[in-house]
Amino acid sequence: MSNGEIDYWKEPEFDESQISSCCFAQSDFKIVFPDYRSSYLKQIWPKVTDLLKAKRIDCELNLIERYMFVKTTDKTYDPYIIIRARDFIKLLSRSVPLEKAKLILNDDMYCEIVKLSSFVSNKEKLIKRRQRLIGPDGSTLKAIEILTKCYVCLCGQTAAIIGPWKGLRKCYKLIVDAMKNFHPVYRLKELMIERELAKNPEMKDKDWSLYLPKFKKSLKPVGKRNSQS
C-alpha cells in the first residue's frame, strides 16, 4: 500500500523453503456434484489435475458416483493448500468455470458460497430478488463485480463469490441484503461513494459514515377499512 501504510489483511508470502518437512498427516475432502456438471468436469479434469499437482495435491474424479476427491501427499508442504483445494472443487461443483475457480488457489483470494434460498420464504421471491442482483443485461451484477473486485456466479439457489477478503465481505453483505429485500442499487451507491472517498488521502482517518447515505426500509401502508357509523 502507498504512503507506508500497512495492510494487515495481506498474508505474508509463503514458499517451500520456509518449511523443512511435509504435512504430518494426510488430509482429504470429497465434494459431490450434480449430474449436469459431469460432462464439463470430465472435459476440464486434465487441467484440474495439473493445477493441483503443481500444489502437491492428488485428486480424483468419479463420474459414476459423481464426486471429486482431493488429498495431501508426502510432498505437500503448505498445510493450508488442502483447504484451498477443497474450495476449488466446491466452486467447480457450483457451476463456476475453471478459469475463475482456479483463482482460489492464490493466497490472496477467498471464496464464499451463499445459500440464497435460506433468506426467502418461497421460490417466487427467490427468482425475483436474484434477478435484481443480475439486473438488465447483467448490468447490476457487473457493477457488483467491479466495485467489490469479486467474481460472482449466480446459479439456482446459490451464489458463489471469489475475491480479496475486503471485497468478499462487501459482496457477501450486498447479496444477503438483496435476498432480504433491500435493493442492491442502494448498496452499490454506498460502494461508489466509498470508492471516491478512498481516493482522497485526507479522508483516510475520518468517519465515512457521515458521508454515506442513510437508507431505511419502509413498509407500504395498509389501507384502513371504511367503518360504517
- pLDDT confidence tier of residue 229, bands split at 50, 70 and 90: very low
**In the chain, which residues fall in CATH 3.30.1370.10?**
22-106, 108-214
Amino acid 227: pLDDT = 47
- CATH number for 108-214 (one of 1.20.1250.20, 3.30.1370.10, 3.40.50.720, 3.40.50.10490): it is 3.30.1370.10
Pairing mode of beta strands 110-115, 57-62: unpaired
Angle at 73 between CA 68 and CA 76, to 5 degrees: 110
Which is more confidently placed, 218 or 194?
194
Over residues 13-29, the pLDDT tens digits come to 766 666 666 556 789 99
Q: Give the dihedral sign, CA 130/132/135/139.
A: negative
* pTM listed for this prediction: 0.81
To which residue does cell 447479496 refer?
Answer: 175
Distance of CA 98 to the CA centre of its chain: 15
pLDDT reading at 221 higher than 60: no
pLDDT reading at 48 higher than 90: yes
CB 144 within 8 A of CB 150: yes
The verdict on domain 22-106 having CATH code 3.30.1370.10 is: yes
Amino acid 11: pLDDT = 66
